[in-house]
């Protein structure tokens, strides 16, 4: 961890702006000398980390180096806060001289601090020799930790499932028993890491359960049970919004009424509180219709007395199943144990005995060895000293943490900042890692690419679990961490003074606030040290933390406009909501202030605010997620580091002065308010400069064919996600006639994975063109009123998994040939009022979910019966009257 702090400090000292400022004020040579010593210490730290030091004197030396790095960071940050932003112009030399004279006291202060730091470095160097950390470079090669090859599993829910087949079948029989009409509770009991949630997920997602229970709800409870929060989670999945101001009893009563007269399955995952059921049971009505409650818990005392017979205490895995799960993780390319050499099998047997049949320990241990050559397994086993204290699982996951490369240790400890059982969005997580300085620069890779590989490495090691993968190549969309591993992250973060969870705040540099808001007085006591602040509940006044670098708030945060602009060191800013005393509309100008190092600005959830042009002068900006319809960059500006730009509205001035230069943008969301006088031409010019574009969302009136036909754009072979939304007005109010598009083969980017066409008035059947996109998995078509017929040909849409057709009011006929859409799992047909039941619907044999709104030309009963007759194989079928 101390090495990561040094890496971040060295990265800061190597920043071009920082170097220029330090040399300008005459302290550059002193800082360079300190940097050279830090590089030497960094090498020794890598050596110490490789040897996994346990000597208390060596640990003390590592702590001293970490504190030194923090000291240097504080000194440089304090100095940078006094330096005004450089303004380009003819009188630059005069301004520099004035600035140099004006800030002379700050220069002296920094010089004095550096002298003290140099003296401290000498002391630490002397202690290093005494502690025996003197083998520079030994065992360090490759310790940057090249992430392992990414292995994408076909189904996240199926990951790591081995054993429990008998328990699964028995639980399913209890859930599906139509003779038992009462609302019964079925409980899965077992220690942490045994696989309770994995088994529950397997049952919950089974085809039979989906068919029998029209309402299924999954709620994670965890250690801190809050009745109001639990009721809110259930209500959200029922898509009901209880009015504010209701007390617990009123909310419970309203929720109970919503569950009346429907057959439901409620899964309450990870319950700890023994009297939990007595507090919540009244919310679940017993209509004698076979509704069920499924509970997972570590404590047998949680089981309701009335259902003590419906308890399944999971056994530990047998030796045979333990080996199967271990090798599934350790050798993911092997199909059966028959392919495993005898010597590896013998080592596997010895290792799995240590795991005691606990699936989590087996997966973590297998994940660790999956990163090692098979020839080194015996050596790795010899290094493992777990003792005989019965804490094998803790020791195994501790060993896996120790094995992490130094850069990955910081990434793993970062998970301590999140609440237990929290679903973590991957993109913001990776951007925070970059902003924190955890990610090393690697050749031919962006920092975000390397961060993504690091996350995949943690997944392969089973240190992190994937919640969801997106459509763009199977990359991680969200993740979570098992509570035992979360405990490890918290413990390590506390030992390293890395992340602290409120209310413990002594000497903290990274603070996570989960549920209750600390007082301003308490927060003021930690102002000098705080560098990162995550608020998963109410946020304090954030204006006071001058040295803050990472600021993330999932709920309302407030600030003082005259102070917030002083937070010039911020690298990552993310707000779901903001309030400012005495003002209605939020002034982003006051909010941004003089931030020179900002990398991520995430304000897309803010509804009403101003965005000043000087935001686009922040050259370090990498990701700008703006409120919708924010003015985009001014004409001709060059934003070479920008990779993400969402919420942007095109400027009229682009027509005459030229659009901005965004050569490295990968994700672009753009709104066009009025496309008159050549603005689409300017947008074509802009898109022609983007060769790395992967995601494009474009919304505007009368989108022309020269935009839809993308075969000549540089990104044609890179784009995987395309949304085109024609924001048209009624034709009688338009000066120009309605655009009517005929799609042709080759117009659309050939590697598209996701395509959404909204109100693009397509005249002819678009499927013969679109079905030739070999990688397409998601298709959403909304609104072409002139489209009358669709046909899916045999072997068309070979990889399509989701198809949504909505508001195609003129569509009458849809033919599906046998062999078409062989992978389709999810189909929604909504407000296509003239459409008859498609010919060939029965050929979609893998379809799991169908949503259909029947048309007004056919009898409701006849159409429902026809769909049900041809879709008997579909487990999740819903037919609605949307007329």
Q: Which residues, at least 6 apart from 98, have a Cβ–Cβ distance to it below 8 Å?
A: none
| Angle ∠(183,187,192) on CA atoms, nearest 5 | 155
CA distance 558 to 135: 51
Q: Which residues, at least 6 apart from 673, have a Cβ–Cβ distance to it below 8 Å?
A: 629, 649, 650, 700
Confidence of residue 386 (pLDDT cuts 50, 70, 90): low
Confidence of residue 147 (pLDDT cuts 50, 70, 90): very low
The pLDDT of residue 558 is 60
Query: 349: which DSSP letter?
Result: H
Q: What is the pLDDT of residues 76-135, one digit of tens each?
A: 888 877 766 555 444 455 445 445 544 567 777 888 888 898 899 888 888 877 766 665
Compute how many other C-beta atoms are within 10 angstroms of the C-beta atom of residue 341: 9
Phi-psi category of residue 554: left, alpha or beta, with phi > 0 → left and psi -120 to 50 → alpha:
alpha
Do β-strands 572-580 and 695-700 pair in parallel, antiparallel, or remain unpaired? unpaired
Q: Out of 17-26, 165-174, 449-458, 816-825, which region has the weakest mean confidence (pLDDT)? A: 17-26
Q: Which residues, at least 6 apart from 242, have a Cβ–Cβ distance to it below 8 Å?
A: 231, 232, 235, 250, 251, 254, 255
Q: What is the pLDDT of residues 698-756, one digit of tens each?
A: 999 889 889 999 998 999 999 999 999 998 655 444 445 556 788 888 899 999 999 99
CA distance 6 to 39: 8
pTM for the full model? 0.82
Q: What is the pLDDT of residues 558-576, one digit of tens each?
A: 656 555 556 788 899 888 7
Mean pLDDT along residues 309-321: 89
The residue with greater pLDDT, 142 or 108, is: 108
The pLDDT of residue 54 is 56
Q: Out of 414-418, 473-477, 606-610, 787-791, which region has the weakest mean confidence (pLDDT)? A: 606-610
Six-digit token pair at 458?
């943690």
pLDDT at 382 over 60: yes
The pLDDT of residue 385 is 63
The pLDDT of residue 94 is 43
CA distance 652 to 656: 8
| Residue 240, φ and ψ in degrees, nearest 5 | -120, 150
CA distance 688 to 554: 36
Q: What is the DSSP string of 576-590?
A: EEEEETT-SSEEHHH
Beta partners for 829? 805, 852
| Angle ∠(560,562,566) on CA atoms, nearest 5 | 100
Comparing C-alpha atoms, which of 773, 765, 711, 715 is closest to residue 741?
A: 765
**Based on C-alpha coordinates, what's the Rg of the chain?**
30
Instruction: Confirm if 576 and 627 have CB atoms less than 8 A apart.
Output: no
**Residue 248 vs residues 244, 245, 516: alpha-carbon distances, Å:** 11, 10, 19
Instruction: Confirm if 416 and 509 have CB atoms less than 8 A apart.
Output: no
Q: Out of 142-146, 222-226, 302-306, which region has the weakest mean confidence (pLDDT)? A: 142-146
The residue with greater pLDDT, 301 or 699, is: 699
Instruction: Confirm if 538 and 555 have CB atoms less than 8 A apart.
Output: yes
CA distance 625 to 614: 16
Mean pLDDT along residues 622-648: 92
Confidence of residue 628 (pLDDT cuts 50, 70, 90): confident
The pLDDT of residue 244 is 57
Six-digit token pair at 536?
């998963």
Helix or strand or coil: residue 311? strand
The pLDDT of residue 479 is 94
The pLDDT of residue 859 is 63
| Residue 705, φ and ψ in degrees, nearest 5 | -60, -30
CA distance 722 to 285: 45
CA distance 541 to 737: 53
CA distance 168 to 188: 10
Mean pLDDT along residues 799-823: 93
Six-digit token pair at 671?
């709104």
Helix or strand or coil: residue 185? strand
pLDDT at 837 over 80: yes
Six-digit token pair at 521?
């007085």
Instruction: Confirm if 426 and 479 have CB atoms less than 8 A apart.
Output: yes
Q: Which residues, at least 6 apart from 160, have a Cβ–Cβ distance to it below 8 Å?
A: 198, 325, 328, 329, 359, 363, 462
Q: What is the DSSP string of 465-528?
A: EEEEE-TTTS-EEEEE--HHHHHHHHHHHHHTT--EETT--TT-SEEEE-SSPPPHHHHHTTTT
The pLDDT of residue 150 is 43
Beta partners for 553? 535, 575
Half-sphere exposure of 476 (CA within 13 A, CB side): 29
CA distance 786 to 505: 63
CA distance 431 to 433: 5
CA distance 73 to 80: 10
Comparing C-alpha atoms, which of 470, 439, 435 is closest to residue 457?
A: 439
pLDDT at 824 over 80: yes
Instruction: Confirm if 806 and 827 have CB atoms less than 8 A apart.
Output: no
Confidence of residue 303 (pLDDT cuts 50, 70, 90): confident
The continuous run of DSSP H or E covering 721 comes out as strand 721-726
The pLDDT of residue 146 is 47
Beta partners for 580? 559
Q: What is the pLDDT of residues 261-271, one digit of tens each?
A: 788 999 999 89
Average pLDDT in the chain = 81
Q: What is the pLDDT of residues 231-255, one digit of tens each?
A: 888 888 887 765 555 666 677 777 8
Q: Which residues, at least 6 apart from 533, have a Cβ–Cβ distance to it below 8 Å?
A: 510, 511, 513, 539, 542, 545, 548, 550, 551, 552
Helix or strand or coil: residue 151? coil
Q: What is the pLDDT of residues 641-679, one digit of tens each?
A: 999 999 999 999 999 899 999 999 999 999 998 777 789
CA distance 711 to 750: 9
CA distance 532 to 572: 9
Q: Out of 446-455, 544-553, 606-615, which region has the weakest mean confidence (pLDDT)? A: 606-615
The pLDDT of residue 476 is 92
Six-digit token pair at 718?
């890179």
Q: Which residues, at least 6 apart from 752, have a Cβ–Cβ distance to it below 8 Å?
A: 719, 720, 721, 722, 773, 775, 776
Comparing C-alpha atoms, which of 645, 647, 649, 683 is closest to residue 664?
A: 645
Q: What is the pLDDT of residues 412-422, one digit of tens each?
A: 999 999 988 88
CA distance 247 to 227: 11
The pLDDT of residue 661 is 94
The pLDDT of residue 380 is 81
CA distance 177 to 304: 19
CA distance 846 to 160: 23
Query: What is the dihedral angle through the alpha carbons of 769, 770, 774, 779, rounded to the nearest 10 degrees?
Result: 180
The pLDDT of residue 242 is 56
Q: Buried b / exposed e across 295-317, counting CB within 10 Å, b at 16+?
A: bbbbeeebbbeebeebbbebebb
Helix or strand or coil: residue 575? strand
pLDDT at 306 over 80: no
């Amino acid at each position: 961890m101390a090495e990561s702090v040094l890496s971040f400090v060295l990265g800061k000292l190597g920043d071009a702006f920082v170097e220029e400022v330090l040399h300008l004020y005459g302290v550059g040579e002193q800082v360079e000398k300190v940097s050279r010593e830090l590089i030497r210490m960094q090498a020794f730290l890598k050596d110490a980390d490789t040897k996994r030091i346990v000597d208390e004197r060596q640990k003390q030396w590592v702590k001293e180096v970490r504190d030194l790095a923090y000291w240097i960071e504080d000194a440089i940050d304090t100095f940078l806060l006094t330096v005004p932003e450089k303004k380009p112009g003819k009188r630059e030399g005069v301004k520099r001289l004035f600035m140099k004279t004006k800030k002379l006291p700050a220069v002296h202060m920094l010089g004095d601090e550096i002298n003290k730091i140099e003296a401290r470095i000498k002391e630490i160097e002397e202690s290093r020799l005494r502690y025996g950390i003197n083998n520079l470079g030994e065992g360090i090669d490759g310790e940057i930790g090249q992430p392992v090859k990414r292995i994408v599993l076909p189904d996240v829910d199926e990951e790591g499932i081995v054993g429990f087949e008998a328990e699964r079948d028995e639980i399913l029989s209890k859930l599906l028993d139509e003779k038992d009409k009462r609302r019964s509770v079925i409980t899965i009991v077992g220690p942490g890491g045994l696989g309770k949630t994995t088994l529950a997920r397997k049952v919950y997602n089974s085809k039979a359960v989906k068919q029998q229970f029209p309402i299924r709800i999954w709620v994670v409870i965890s250690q801190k049970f809050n009745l109001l929060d639990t009721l809110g989670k259930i209500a959200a999945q029922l898509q009901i919004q209880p009015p504010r101001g209701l007390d617990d009893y009123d909310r419970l009563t309203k929720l109970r009424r919503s569950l009346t007269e429907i057959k439901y399955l409620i899964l309450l995952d990870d319950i700890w509180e023994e009297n939990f059921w007595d507090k919540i049971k009244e919310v679940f009505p017993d209509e004698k219709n076979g509704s069920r409650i499924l509970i997972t818990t570590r404590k047998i005392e949680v089981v309701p007395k009335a259902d003590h017979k419906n308890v399944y205490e999971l056994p530990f895995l047998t030796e045979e199943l333990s080996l199967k799960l271990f090798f599934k993780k350790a050798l993911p390319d092997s199909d059966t144990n028959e392919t495993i050499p005898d010597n590896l099998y013998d080592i596997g047997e010895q290792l799995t005995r240590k795991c005691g049949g606990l699936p989590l320990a087996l997966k973590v241990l297998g994940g660790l060895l999956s990163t090692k050559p098979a020839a080194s397994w015996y050596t790795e086993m010899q290094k493992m000293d777990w003792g005989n204290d019965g804490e094998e699982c803790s020791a195994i996951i501790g060993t896996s943490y120790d094995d992490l490369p130094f850069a990955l240790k910081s990434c793993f400890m970062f998970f301590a900042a999140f609440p237990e059982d929290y679903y973590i969005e991957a993109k913001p997580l990776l951007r925070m890692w970059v902003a924190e300085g955890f990610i090393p620069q690697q050749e031919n890779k962006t920092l975000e690419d390397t961060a993504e590989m690091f996350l995949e490495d943690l997944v392969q090691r089973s240190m992190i679990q994937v919640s969801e993968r997106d459509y763009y190549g199977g990359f991680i969309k969200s993740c979570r961490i098992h509570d035992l591993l979360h405990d490890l992250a918290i413990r390590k973060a506390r030992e390293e003074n890395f992340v602290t969870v409120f209310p413990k705040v002594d000497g903290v540099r990274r603070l996570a606030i989960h549920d209750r808001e600390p007082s301003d007085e308490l927060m003021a006591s930690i102002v000098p040290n705080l560098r990162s602040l995550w608020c998963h509940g109410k946020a304090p006044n954030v204006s006071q933390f001058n040295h803050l670098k990472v600021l993330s708030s999932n709920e309302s945060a407030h600030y003082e406009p005259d102070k917030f602009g002083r937070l010039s060191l911020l690298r990552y800013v993310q707000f779901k909501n903001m309030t400012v005393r005495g003002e209605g509309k939020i002034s982003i100008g006051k909010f941004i202030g003089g931030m020179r190092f900002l990398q991520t600005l995430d304000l897309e959830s803010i509804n009403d605010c101003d965005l000043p042009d000087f935001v686009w002068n922040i050259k370090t900006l990498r990701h700008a997620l703006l409120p919708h319809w924010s003015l985009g960059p001014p004409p001709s500006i060059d934003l070479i580091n920008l990779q993400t730009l969402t919420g942007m509205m095109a400027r009229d001035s682009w027509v005459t002065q030229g659009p901005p230069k965004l050569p490295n943008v990968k994700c672009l969301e753009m709104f066009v308010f009025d496309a008159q006088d050549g603005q689409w031409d300017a947008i074509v010019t802009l898109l022609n400069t983007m060769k790395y574009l992967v995601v494009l969302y474009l919304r505007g009136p009368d989108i022309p064919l020269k935009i839809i036909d993308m075969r000549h754009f540089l990104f044609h072979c890179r784009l995987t996600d395309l949304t085109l939304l024609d924001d048209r007005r009624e034709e009688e109010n338009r000066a120009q006639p309605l655009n009517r598009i005929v799609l042709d083969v080759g117009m659309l980017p050939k590697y598209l994975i996701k395509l959404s066409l909204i109100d693009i008035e397509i005249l002819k059947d678009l499927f013969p063109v679109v079905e030739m996109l070999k990688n397409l998995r998601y298709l959403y078509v909304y609104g072409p009123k002139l489209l009358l017929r669709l046909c899916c040909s045999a072997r068309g849409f070979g990889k399509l998994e989701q198809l949504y057709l909505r508001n195609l009011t003129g569509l009458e006929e849809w033919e599906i040939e046998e062999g078409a859409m062989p992978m389709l799992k999810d189909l929604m047909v909504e407000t296509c009022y003239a459409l008859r039941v498609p010919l060939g619907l029965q050929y979609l044999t893998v379809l799991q979910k169908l949503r259909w709104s029947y048309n007004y030309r056919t009898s409701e009963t006849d159409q429902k019966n026809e769909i049900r007759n041809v879709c008997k194989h579909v487990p999740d079928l819903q037919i609605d009257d949307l007329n």
